[in-house]
Structure 1
Amino acid sequence: MTATITIDTLDGSGQFSGYIAKPQAQAKAAIVVIQEIFGVNAGIRRKCDTLAEAGYLAIAPDLFWRIEPGIELDPDIKSEFDRALQLMGQFDQDQGVADIEATIRAARALVDDGKVGVVGYCLGGRLAFMAAARTDADASVGYYGVGIDGLLGEKHAIANPVLLHVPEEDHFVDKAAQKAMHAGLDDHPKVTIHDYPGEDHGFATEFGERRSDASAKQADARTAKFFAENLA
């Protein structure tokens, strides 16, 4: 079952929407799905639906609601890609993490105070790492997060398991940044990094030209195993 829910901000100053997908049976846990710069589009909704099929309650919050509520963009259309970059430039990431925390709280209430994970893509991959350091998420997954090398000062605050998927040919994350991520995180007891040779940013998207099917399936299988182990 899918629907749209309303989530209160942490400080009570506003509300924002979230796409929710529920499993047929009682949810075994909840997962917050964090959008790319393209909004809660068809691909992000499909990620939620797939998680619901696997038995999780999944919620994708509209993190751009303060700028343009309900926006959905297609990364394969240049004008829409350019618009997404503009939105990214206007987006307050600290507020975004606070909205993710509000969504985690809402999700936890919906699963009777059970476990809640987060999974994010692109911008969402970065925000998933930030959420791992700043919220009580029980497990966090980031796909091709940008600028994580600049967030390593927060790694000491990571208390629960984190899984990062890093495409080696990511044109938004150069080799130096990838090297810094490994140098800073390989010895962290809670963090696991998987590298994907030959893959570029967006390889695990559900739809469109960026998808690389074999690597996407491999990464998603690793994510499924990670959540099965850490949200049980």
Structure 2
Amino acid sequence: MGSFTPITTLEGDAQFDAYVAQPEGEAMAAIIVIQEIFGVNEGIRRKCDSWAKAGYLAYAPDLFWREKPHVELDADVPDDFQLAIGHMQKFNQDRGIRDIEATIKAARAALGGKGKVGVVGYCLGGRLVFMSACRTDGDAFVVYYGVGIDGLLGEQHAIGKPAMLHIPTRDGFVPAEVQQKMHEGLKDNRHVTLHDYEGLDHGFAAEMGNRRVEDAAQHADQRTADFFAEHLA
């Protein structure tokens, strides 16, 4: 349904690709889908395609482009997982946020400058969405099993638009004590909603592969769809 389209950096000195899926009719809003450490792979593209079928203009920026464009790895392949860790370690997250902001800008321009833009991300992408909620002018933000968010809580006062976090309680990358810090640190922020998923592990809402837990993924995704329908209208 979609194809890769160049996005100009905020500095205007380079371009990177984003997978873009177009709805059949006029887009009601745009949604930026932020990758896991596995790149803009088939699962991320499918998520964009699903948003397009729901009537949104969907973008998935290739955030690893400065190190290696078009990384596409499989979470279920051990060698791919190790490669993905290597890409993540080389990735500059602050630059990544600027690329997300450039994608938001491009999406708004494609909407004629009038539409709203939501941002949703997974794993590393979930962390980047939380950072984006603090640092960009997106209109609504959804975090799936974001990593290291306890270290970002000092920025949460800057969140001025609705944000929602999906937190699996058995997340192997986000220990229980980190989850507690997230709940404690965000409980008084009127813009933020947290949902716990008891007994589930990291990656439960992956679009495809062994990590996916079907009923829980559908439940979380429906919450996300309802959230965007409310805040991007």
Residue 117 of structure 1 is matched in structure 2 by 118
Could you say what secondary structure the match of 1:17 adopts?
Answer: strand
* Aligned counterparts of 1:49 and 1:179: Cα–Cα separation in 2: 34
The code of the aligned residue for 2:79 comes to S
Residue 206 of structure 1 corresponds to 207
- 1:22 partner amino acid: Q
* 2:224 counterpart of 1:223: yes
- The CA distance in 2 between the partners of 1:134 and 1:112, in whole Å, is 23
Partner of residue 21, structure 1: 21
Equivalent residue number for residue 88 of structure 1: 88
Amino acid at match of 2:105: R
**Aligned equivalents of 1:124 and 1:71: distance in 2?**
14
CA distance in 2, matches of 1:148, 1:22: 32
Structure 1 residue runs of 4 or more that deviate by more than 6 Å after TM superposition: none
**1:94: Cα distance to partner?**
0.2
SS at match of 2:3: strand
In structure 2, the partner of 1:58 is 58
Which consecutive unaligned segments of at least 5 residues does structure 1 have? Answer: none
Mapped pair 1:158 → 2:159 = yes
Partner of 1:42 in structure 2? Answer: 42
**TM norm structure 2:** 0.99
SS at match of 1:71: coil
Partner of 1:189: 190
Post-superposition offset of 1:186: 1.4
5+ long unaligned stretches in structure 2: none
Measured on the aligned residues, the alpha-carbon RMSD in Å equals 0.6
- Alignment identity in percent? 62
Distance 1:23 1:58 in 2: 8
Opposite residue 183 of structure 2, the aligned amino acid is H
CA distance in 2, matches of 1:178, 1:84: 24
Shift of 1:182: 0.2
Look up the SS of the partner of 1:58 in the other structure.
Answer: strand
Give a deviation string over 1:152-190, Cα, whole Å, max 9, x none: 000010000000000000000000100000001011100
CA shift at 1:120, angstroms? 0.3
Offset, 1:121: 0.4
Deviation at 1:59, TM superposition (A): 0.3
Partners in 2 of 1:203 and 1:13 — Cα distance? 38
Shift of 1:5: 0.7
Rounded to whole Å, the distance in 2 between the matches of 1:153 and 1:14 is 32
How many residues are treated as equivalent by the alignment?
A: 232
Q: Distance in 2 between matches of 1:77 and 1:42?
A: 14
Secondary structure of 2:172 counterpart:
coil
What amino acid sits opposite 1:139 in the alignment?
A
Report SS of the residue matched to 1:85. helix
TM-score by length of 1: 0.99
Secondary structure in structure 2 of the residue aligned to 1:202? coil
CA distance in 1, matches of 2:50, 2:28: 14
Partner of 1:173: 174
Helix, strand or coil at the partner of 2:19:
strand
